[in-house]
C-alpha cells in the first residue's frame, strides 16, 4: 500500500513509529507537510499539489493535523477524501473532536459521563455560569486550547468570575467545568483503535500541577481499566466517529467522566508505559479497512 501522512513534523516519535510500522509490513509511507499542499478544486477532478508537483495516488492517508492548522488541514483531508483515498480518521470526525463545545454536546446527547459543563456568551451571565457549574473550584478552558494550554483552575467563586470576565472581555470563548477533586491530579488515557480499547495508561500531573498532560511534566504508568471505563471510551470514540483516538477520562464519585477525545493521540507515552505496539495496530487497521472510496462522508459536512 501507498500511504500519505499529513504532518508538519515528521521527526516526532509518533510519526516515526507509524512509518517504521508501515514499512515493516511492506508498505510505503510518505510524509506530506499539510501547509505545503495546494488544491485544485476542479469538477470531478480533485487534485492535490505538493510544492507545485501533483501528488501521486495514495491508498490511505493518516491525518496528524496540528491544532493550530485545523482549518486548512481539514480542507486538505477533504480533498483526499474526494479523491477516494481512505482516511484513518475522517475530516468530519476530526472537526467534531477539535470543537470542544460540539464534542461535549455530542457526548452528552449519547449519554456519556461528563463533568458538569457550562457555556455562555455574555460576560453578564458569569454568576449564572459559576452557579450552574456547581461553584468553585472550577476548571476554565479555552475552546481552542490543546495539551493543557489554556486551562485554568479557579479555587474560589471570586477568582472564577475574574478569569471568566477577563477571557470573555477579550472575546475568547471558554467552557466552565466542575473540578473533579477525587481524581487527585490523575487521569486515564484509553487508546481506541477500530472500536476496541487497545491500551490504557494512568497519567499523573507533576507536583503542584492539576493538569496531567505528559507535555507538562506528568508521568504515566499502565493501568487496568474497568468494564465501565472501557465502554465509556469506546462509546466516546463512536460519538465522534473516530477510528483511532485517545479518550481522556477522570474517575469521579459517579463513574468515569470524559474530558476530551483526541483525534491525533501521541504514541510515545502509551507505548513506553504499556510496551504495546500501538503503531503496528493502527497500520493493521488500515490494511483491513482501506478500500478505494471507502469514506462515509466523501468530503461532506
The string of pLDDT tens digits covering residues 217-236 is: 567 899 999 999 999 999 99
**Of 82-86, 143-147, 208-212, minimum mean pLDDT range:** 208-212
**CATH number for the segment(s) 117-179:** 3.30.1490.20
Domains 2-95 and 117-179 equal at CATH topology level: no
Convert the pLDDT of each residue in 102-118 to its tens digit: 999 999 999 999 999 99
Grid cell listed for 253: 464519585
Q: Is 300 a residue whose pLDDT tops 50?
A: no
Query: Is the domain covering 2-95 a CATH 3.40.50.1240 domain?
Result: no
Q: Domain locations in the chain?
A: 2-95, 99-112+182-276, 117-179
**CATH number for the segment(s) 99-112+182-276:** 3.30.470.20
pLDDT of the residue at 208? 55
3-state secondary structure of 2: strand
* Helix or strand (DSSP H, E) at 282: helix 278-289
Q: Is 182 a residue whose pLDDT tops 70?
A: yes
Burial class (CB in 10 A: 0-12, 13-18, 19+), 145: middle
- Percentage of residues of the chain with pLDDT beyond 70: 90
Cα–Cα distances in angstroms (integers) from residue 126 to residues 82, 121, 155, 169, 282, in the given order: 44, 9, 16, 11, 44
In 3D space, the residue among 238, 236, 203 whose CA is nearest the CA of residue 221 turns out to be 203
Q: How many degrees, rounded to 5, is the angle at CA 37 between CA 35 and CA 43?
A: 135
pLDDT band at 213 (very low <50, low <70, confident <90, very high): low
- Could you tell me the sign of the dihedral formed by the alpha carbons of 235, 236, 240, 241, in that order? negative
pLDDT of the residue at 301? 42
Q: What is the arithmetic mean of pLDDT over 31-52?
A: 92
| DSSP-assigned letter for residue 247 | E
Q: Where are the beta strands (DSSP E) in the chain?
A: 2-6, 28-32, 37-42, 45-50, 53-54, 60-63, 86-87, 117-118, 138-142, 151-154, 174-178, 186-193, 196-204, 219-222, 244-252, 255-262
φ, ψ dihedrals at 33, nearest 5°: -70, 115
Amino acid at each position: 500500500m501507498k500511504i500519505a501522512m499529513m504532518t508538519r513534523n515528521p521527526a516526532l516519535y509518533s510519526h516515526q513509529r507509524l512509518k517504521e510500522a508501515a514499512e515493516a509490513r511492506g508498505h510505503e509511507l510518505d510524509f506530506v507537510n499539510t501547509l505545503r499542499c495546494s488544491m485544485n478544486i476542479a469538477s470531478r477532478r480533485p487534485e492535490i499539489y505538493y510544492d507545485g508537483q501533483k501528488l501521486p495516488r495514495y491508498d490511505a492517508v493518516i491525518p496528524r493535523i496540528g491544532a493550530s492548522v485545523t482549518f486548512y488541514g481539514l480542507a486538505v483531508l477533504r480533498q483526499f477524501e474526494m479523491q477516494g483515498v481512505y482516511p484513518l480518521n475522517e475530516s468530519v470526525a476530526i472537526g467534531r473532536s477539535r470543537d470542544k463545545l460540539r464534542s461535549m454536546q455530542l457526548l452528552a446527547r449519547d449519554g456519556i459521563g461528563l463533568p458538569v459543563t457550562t457555556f455562555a456568551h455574555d460576560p453578564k451571565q458569569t454568576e449564572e455560569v459559576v452557579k450552574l457549574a456547581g461553584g468553585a473550584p472550577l476548571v476554565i478552558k479555552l475552546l481552542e486550547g490543546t495539551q493543557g494550554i489554556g486551562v485554568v483552575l479557579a479555587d474560589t467563586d471570586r477568582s472564577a468570575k475574574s478569569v471568566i470576565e477577563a477571557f470573555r472581555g477579550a472575546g475568547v470563548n471558554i467552557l466552565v467545568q466542575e473540578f473533579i477533586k477525587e481524581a487527585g491530579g490523575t487521569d486515564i488515557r484509553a487508546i481506541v483503535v477500530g472500536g476496541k480499547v487497545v491500551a490504557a495508561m494512568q497519567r499523573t500531573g507533576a507536583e503542584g500541577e492539576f493538569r496531567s498532560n505528559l507535555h507538562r511534566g506528568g508521568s504515566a504508568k499502565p493501568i487496568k481499566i474497568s468494564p465501565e471505563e472501557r465502554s465509556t471510551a469506546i462509546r466516546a470514540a463512536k460519538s465522534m466517529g473516530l477510528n483511532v483516538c485517545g479518550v481522556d477520562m477522570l474517575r469521579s464519585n459517579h463513574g468515569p467522566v470524559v474530558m476530551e477525545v483526541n483525534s491525533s493521540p501521541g504514541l510515545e507515552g502509551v507505548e513506553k508505559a504499556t510496551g504495546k505496539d500501538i503503531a503496528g495496530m493502527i497500520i493493521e487497521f488500515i490494511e483491513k479497512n482501506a478500500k478505494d472510496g471507502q469514506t462515509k462522508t466523501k468530503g461532506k459536512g
